Amino acid sequence: MLKWHATETATVTNYFAVDPASGLTDVVAAERLRSYGANRPSARPGRGAFLRFVAQLVQPLILVLIAAGMVTLFLREWVDSAVIFGVVLVNALVGFIQEGKAEAALAALVRAVAAEATVVRDGARRRLDAIHLVPGDVVVLAAGDKVPADLRLFSGKELRHAEAALTGESLPVAKHVEPLPAETPLADRHNMAYAGTFVVGGQGTGVVVATGDATETGRISALIASAPDLTTPLTRQLDVFARRLLVAILILAVLTFGVGVLRGESALDMFMAAVALAVGAIPEGLPAAMTVTLAIGVARMARRRAIIRKLSAVETLGSTTVICSDKTGTLTENAMTVREIRAGGEHFTLSGDGYAPVGGIEREGLPATVAGALKETLVASVLCNDARLAQVENQWTVIGDPTEAALLVAARKANLDEAILNSLFPRRDELPFDSARQVMATLHEVDGVCVVYVKGAVEKLLGACAGRLDRQGREVPLAGEDVQAAALRMAEAGLRVLALARSELSPTQVLEHEHLGSGLVFLGLIGMIDPPRSSAAAAVRACHAAGIRVKMITGDHPGTAVAIARQLGIADAGTCALTGQELARLDDDGLRQAAATVNVFARVEPEQKLRLVKALQADGEVVAMTGDGVNDAPALKQADIGVAMGLGGTEVAKEAAEMVLTDDNFATIEAAVEEGRGIYDNLVKFIVWTIPTNAGEGLVILAAILAGSTLPITPLQILWINMTTAILLGMMLAFEPAEQGIMQRPPRAPSAPILDRPLLLRILLVSILLLSGAFGLFELALQRGQSLAEARTIAANVFVLVETLYLFNCRSLSRPFWSIGAFANPWVWAGSGAMLLLQLAFTYVPVMNSIFQTAPIGLSDWATIGAFAVFCAAAVELEKRWRLASACRPPALSAGR
Chain positions contacting ligand ATP, by CB under 6 A: 326-328, 401, 403-404, 433, 435, 438-440, 455-457, 496, 498, 554-557
- Residue 644 contacts residue 627 (beta carbons within 8 Å): yes
User: Nearer Cβ to ligand ATP, position 626 or 839?
Assistant: 626
Task: Report the nearest approach of ligand ATP to the CB of residue 489 (Å).
Answer: 15
User: Nearer Cβ to ligand ATP, position 197 or 403?
Assistant: 403
Task: Report the nearest approach of ligand ATP to the CB of residue 471 (Å).
Answer: 24
User: Nearer Cβ to ligand ATP, position 210 or 451?
Assistant: 451
User: Nearer Cβ to ligand ATP, position 275 or 529?
Assistant: 529
Whole-number Å distance between alpha carbons of 482 and 344: 12
Q: What are phi and psi of 762, to 5 degrees?
A: -65, -40
Task: Report the nearest approach of ligand ATP to the CB of residue 579 (Å).
Answer: 12
Beta strands in 130-213 (DSSP E): 138-142, 150-162, 173-174, 192-193, 198-210
Task: Report the nearest approach of ligand ATP to the CB of residue 603 (Å).
Answer: 7
Consecutive H or E run containing 526: strand 520-529
Amino acid at 879: E
Amino acid at 299: A
- Residue 159 contacts residue 174 (beta carbons within 8 Å): yes
Task: Report the nearest approach of ligand ATP to the CB of residue 328 (Å).
Answer: 3
User: Nearer Cβ to ligand ATP, position 132 or 611?
Assistant: 611
The vertex-471 CA angle with 465 and 476, nearest 5°, equals 40
Residues 6 or more apart whose Cβ sits within 8 Å of residue 75: 268, 271
Backbone Cα Rg of the chain: 34
Task: Report the nearest approach of ligand ATP to the CB of residue 494 (Å).
Answer: 13
Longest dimension (CA), the chain: 113
Task: Report the nearest approach of ligand ATP to the CB of residue 5 (Å).
Answer: 34
Q: Please, how many CA atoms are within 13 Å of residue 111, restricted to the half-sphere of its CB?
A: 14
Whole-number Å distance between alpha carbons of 50 and 319: 37
- Residue 256 contacts residue 273 (beta carbons within 8 Å): yes
- C-alpha distances (whole Å) from 110 to each of 98, 308, 896 are 18, 8, 55
Task: Report the nearest approach of ligand ATP to the CB of residue 126 (Å).
Answer: 20
792 closest CA partner among 690, 706, 714: 714
Task: Report the nearest approach of ligand ATP to the CB of residue 600 (Å).
Answer: 11
Cβ-proximal residue to ligand ATP, closest one: 555
Per the DSSP assignment, residues forming a β-bridge with 182 are none
- Residue 152 contacts residue 12 (beta carbons within 8 Å): yes
User: Nearer Cβ to ligand ATP, position 212 or 558?
Assistant: 558
Q: Is 326 a catalytic residue?
A: yes
Task: Report the nearest approach of ligand ATP to the CB of residue 487 (Å).
Answer: 9
97-132 burial string, b = 16+ CB within 10 Å, else e? ebbeebbebbeebbeebebbbbbbbeeebeebebbb
User: Nearer Cβ to ligand ATP, position 576 or 841?
Assistant: 576
Whole-number Å distance between alpha carbons of 837 and 371: 85
User: Nearer Cβ to ligand ATP, position 651 or 790?
Assistant: 651
CA of residue 95 relative to chain centroid, distance: 24
Whole-number Å distance between alpha carbons of 547 and 355: 38
User: Nearer Cβ to ligand ATP, position 84 or 498?
Assistant: 498
Handedness of CA 662, 668, 672, 673 (dihedral sign): positive
User: Nearer Cβ to ligand ATP, position 555 or 831?
Assistant: 555
* SS3 label, residue 603: coil
> Which pairing describes strands 659-661 and 496-505: parallel, antiparallel, or unpaired?
unpaired
Q: What are phi and psi of 303, to 5 degrees?
A: -65, -25
- Catalytic one of 137, 145, 150, 326: 326
- Residue 343 contacts residue 525 (beta carbons within 8 Å): yes
Whole-number Å distance between alpha carbons of 22 and 1: 25
230 closest CA partner among 407, 367, 52: 52
377 closest CA partner among 500, 521, 461: 500
Query: Torsion-angle region of residue 519: left (phi > 0), alpha (psi -120 to 50) or beta?
Result: left
User: Nearer Cβ to ligand ATP, position 455 or 515?
Assistant: 455
Task: Report the nearest approach of ligand ATP to the CB of residue 117 (Å).
Answer: 21
Consecutive H or E run containing 838: helix 826-844
Handedness of CA 729, 734, 735, 741 (dihedral sign): positive
Task: Report the nearest approach of ligand ATP to the CB of residue 433 (Å).
Answer: 4
User: Nearer Cβ to ligand ATP, position 669 or 699?
Assistant: 669
Whole-number Å distance between alpha carbons of 395 and 356: 8
User: Nearer Cβ to ligand ATP, position 91 or 631?
Assistant: 631
- Residue 6 contacts residue 181 (beta carbons within 8 Å): yes
Task: Report the nearest approach of ligand ATP to the CB of residue 552 (Å).
Answer: 7
- Residue 748 contacts residue 680 (beta carbons within 8 Å): yes
The vertex-553 CA angle with 317 and 170, nearest 5°, equals 75
Whole-number Å distance between alpha carbons of 775 and 777: 6
Whole-number Å distance between alpha carbons of 648 and 646: 6
Task: Name the residues annotated as catalytic.
Answer: 326
